[in-house]
Amino acid sequence: MITNHGIATDAWAAIDGDCPISGELVGEEGQLELGVRTASLHLVCSESGLRNLVAVATEVLDEMDHART
């Protein structure tokens, strides 16, 4: 990923059914936390970014459902 400062980062989180997930609206941003404070991944999303995340997650979940049938 190219940024204004030339720094690229990559992060991932393994999310299972027991993974704590929380979210809140802060100003005009949706802030999501995957995991717990000492070991978590934070996502800060605009409304359109959050809608895109939900749409893609829904598509992948549909694929998982179809793969089981």
pLDDT 10s digits, 14-62: 899 999 999 999 999 999 999 988 889 999 999 999 999 999 999 999 9
Q: Cα–Cα distance between 37 and 14 in angstroms, integer?
A: 15
Rounded-to-integer distance, Cα 29 and Cα 67, Å: 34
- The pLDDT of 5-11, averaged and rounded, is 76
Q: Contact 31/23 with Cβ under 8 angstroms? A: yes
The 3-state DSSP class for residue 57 equals helix
Segments making up each domain of the chain, as ranges: 21-68
Residue 4 has pLDDT above 80, yes or no: no
